[in-house]
Amino acid sequence: MRLLFAKYRHVFNVGLQSNIVYRWNFAMRAAFSMLHLVFVFILWGAAYQGHTEIGGFSLDQTLTYFVTLLVLQFFIGAFNEDYEISEEIRSGLINQFLTKPINYFVYRFTIFIAARIVSGLLALVPLLLALPLLGEYLTFPDEVWRLMLGLPAAFMSAMIQFTIAYIFGMLTFWFLEIQSFVILSMTIETLLGGQIFPLDLLPDTIYRISQFLPYYYQMYFPAAIFAGRIDYASASQGLLIQAFWVVALLVIAQVLWQRGLRQHTAVGG
Amino acid sequence: MLKYLKIWLASMRYSVVRSMMFRGDFIMWSLVELFWMAVSVAAIAVIYQHTDSIAGWSQFEMLLLIGTSMLVQRLLMGMFWSNLFEMSRNIRTGNFDFFLAQPGNPLFMVSTRKIDLDSLLNTVVALAIVIFSAHKLGLDPSLGDIAIYALFVGCGLVISYALVLLLASVSFWTIGTRGVESGYFTLYEFSRLPKQAFSGVSNVIFVWMLPMVVISNAPANTLISGLSWSDTLWMLATTVIWLGIGIGVFRRGIRRYSSASS
């Protein structure tokens, strides 16, 4: 067990270092996200004109939701893991893992965590700089249970994000390019993951249905817990559904990996 | 002039043939774009469930604005987008030499290499959204208004082209330009907002200094409330200025270009 831990600790360190190399990339992304936040503030500010609340929430609460979403995105969102995995399969880099006692999924997931720590911390920099301007809009609820349920929810969301990216990467065993699949699924994710509007604004039935889909648990769920958009009962019920999706996606990923390897031919030496 | 038109037509024919060779790809990418447009439409539908106006714009006025914004974007994607970003890659690899050696204006040769049929196909969808919204609003634009609308959309395309040319030309100075593409998309988001939503500093930056807001607002306004001289002036001035900046930076870049060797 300790040996196992030590092995992946090295992977983690390498992941940290190689992602620090991309710090400017992440910084640029964070800067664009701030610009997106400006768009969100202007749009929702205009939509709230003449309303004190929309869907039962004030403008400040809605803006707090979008800021939370932005922070979460850099801490738990999958960025280009799908393309990286796809590239490793295509170029034959995965062959080296087949002969070594390293689990490819755990290896990639470890790197993913290292990468998110780097990008998450980097994204906080512009946000902290903007805090004097943002501060007056932020209104977080102060119940302790939100942290107790929100943190595991955020971790499981990270697992869901990564595993979906991993599954798309696995498609490389069968398809030449995966980009169109990824972007197609990204559109659904954008809508049903709550990137454009808080999902509770959806018509009731659609909102109910969305709660059973994995997209809800990719980002919206932890963000809604932290920003105070769902109550204790639906948060604890949500955790169970989220856990189900984590397991289901892990199983799919494992099956695809095993079937994919049967398709795979390692070429060259 | 005629020579250039012939060259452009030849690249178009080549692109069509190519798309038909990779039919699966073509269908997939058409779907991708269709989905993105559906997301924007759905967003509007949901927000207007809870409010009647955004900065004084009703639901279908807003949809008309967004449809216009999409129309310009689809045209840009269909005609110039991948050409310009390919240029950016070619500058890095040195393949850009090939364009300089061709007997024609390098900017023209770079910009018209191919067209993306899937995006052009989706302009029909964007146009349908505009027509649908206009119908819902009970608008009855005169032929003149429609001609002005088309002219403004054309100006919007020129401005977008200049903006992307500017972003792609950054490659002349730097090595990595990853992230520049997403920069364009983030900026272009602002074209989905009505001018009236901006105030104070954001008004100065996004409405007056950057060109995204005029691209969608001027044509949409023309359809909704008829031609206004201030809009016309605003649109034409923005077009001339941004095209000037785009071409200017590209020319400076070319002077700096010294090929690449391996």
Domain ranges for chain B, please list them: 2-256
User: Is A55 in contact with B50 (Cβ distance < 8 A)?
Assistant: yes
Q: Which ipTM did the prediction report?
A: 0.88
Q: Are A64 and A146 in contact (CB under 8 A)?
A: no
The partner residue sitting opposite B39, judged by closest CB among A35, A51, A191, is A191
Q: Which domain holds residue A154?
A: 2-263
Which ranges constitute the DSSP H helices of chain B?
2-21, 23-50, 59-76, 82-93, 97-101, 106-111, 117-136, 143-169, 180-188, 200-202, 212-225, 229-256
- Asked if residue A185 is part of any domain, the answer here is yes
Residue B30 or residue A171, greater confidence: A171
Side chain identity at residue B196, one-letter code: Q
Cα–Cα distance, A153 to A225 (Å, whole number): 9
Q: Which residues contact A12 (CB under 8 A, 6 or more apart)?
A: A110, A111, A113, A114
Which of A169-178, A250-259, B141-150 is predicted with the least confidence, judged by mean pLDDT?
A169-178
The partner residue sitting opposite A38, judged by closest CB among B28, B51, B202, is B202
- Asked if residue A269 is part of any domain, the answer here is no
* Residue A30: per-residue pLDDT: 85
* Residue A249: per-residue pLDDT: 97
Q: What is the largest CA-CA distance in chain B?
A: 62
Q: What tokens were used for B246?
A: 């785009």
3-state SS assignment for residue B41: helix
The partner residue sitting opposite B42, judged by closest CB among A51, A55, A191, is A191
List of chain A residues whose C-beta atoms are within 8 Å of the C-beta of residue B69: none
DSSP per-residue string spanning A204-216: HHHHHHHTTSGGG
3-state SS assignment for residue A52: coil
User: Is B28 in contact with A49 (Cβ distance < 8 A)?
Assistant: no
DSSP-assigned beta bridge partners for residue A113: none
* Residue A135: per-residue pLDDT: 85
From A193, which residue of chain B is nearest by alpha-carbon distance? B39
Cβ–Cβ pairs < 8 A, chains A and B: 85
Q: How many domains does chain A have?
A: 1
Average pLDDT, rounded, for chain A: 90
Cα–Cα distance, B113 to B15 (Å, whole number): 9
pLDDT in tens, A192-216: 999 999 999 999 999 999 999 999 9
Q: Are B115 and B83 in contact (CB under 8 A)?
A: no
Which residue out of B26, B48, B54 would a mutagenesis test of the A interface target, given it has the greatest number of A Cβ atoms within 10 Å?
A: B54
* Residue A268: per-residue pLDDT: 53
Residue with the two structure tokens 């202007």: A42
pLDDT in tens, chain B (262 residues): 788 888 888 888 888 888 788 777 788 888 888 888 889 899 999 999 999 999 999 999 999 999 999 999 999 999 999 888 888 888 878 888 888 888 888 888 888 888 888 888 889 999 999 999 999 999 988 899 999 999 999 999 999 999 999 988 888 887 665 667 778 888 999 999 999 999 888 889 988 899 999 999 999 999 998 888 999 999 999 999 999 999 999 999 888 887 765 4
- A86 pLDDT band (50/70/90 cuts)? very high
Cα–Cα distance, B168 to B91 (Å, whole number): 10
From B183, which residue of chain A is nearest by alpha-carbon distance? A32
Which residue out of A35, A36, A39 would a mutagenesis test of the B interface target, given it has the greatest number of B Cβ atoms within 10 Å?
A: A39
pLDDT in tens, A117-164: 998 998 888 888 888 888 888 888 888 999 999 999 999 999 999 999
- A254 pLDDT band (50/70/90 cuts)? very high
* Residue B10: per-residue pLDDT: 87
Q: What is the phi-psi region of residue B133: left when phi exceeds 0, alpha when psi lies from -120 to 50, beta otherwise?
A: alpha
* CA-to-CA separations, A106 to A82, A111, A163, A249, A253, in angstroms, rounded: 15, 9, 11, 14, 12
Residue with the two structure tokens 């197609």: A184
How many CB atoms within 10 Å of residue B151? 16
